[in-house]
Amino acid sequence: MDGPQRTALFLARASYRQRRLRDAALLVPVLGIILWIVPLLWSAAPDGAPSGRFAIVYIFGAWVLLIILTAFISRSLRRPDALHDEDDGG
């Protein structure tokens, strides 16, 4: 064909993974807000509703989960292969 030649769009796997990790890091605060709002949605009815003690344990559990998730994402983003992807212009 005489038209412009099309080349396949290829993203390096490491570069793609780093970008998705950055996207995940941006969504962690949104996840935190959603997790912390859940106890507010619980019914205040005395028949089978979770107690205030359970809500406090849930809040701190969600907090610990967010800390672990953020540490994992942070450690993954600081890998040496992330520096090489940035040098390539990505």
Note the pLDDT tens digit of each residue in 9-27.
666 777 788 888 899 999 9
What pTM, to 2 d.p., does this model score?
A: 0.66
CB-count burial class (<10 Å; 0-12, 13-18, 19+) for 2: exposed
For 22, residues 6+ apart whose C-beta sits below 8 A from its C-beta are 77
User: Residue 69 pLDDT more than 50?
Assistant: yes
Distances 66 to 10, 18, 31 between C-alpha atoms, Å: 33, 19, 8
pLDDT of residue 46: 64
Neighbours of 70 (CB within 10 A): 15
Task: Look at residue 10 in the predicted model and tell me its pLDDT.
Answer: 67
List pLDDT tens digits, range 40-63.
887 665 666 667 788 889 999 999
Residue 6 has pLDDT above 50, yes or no: yes
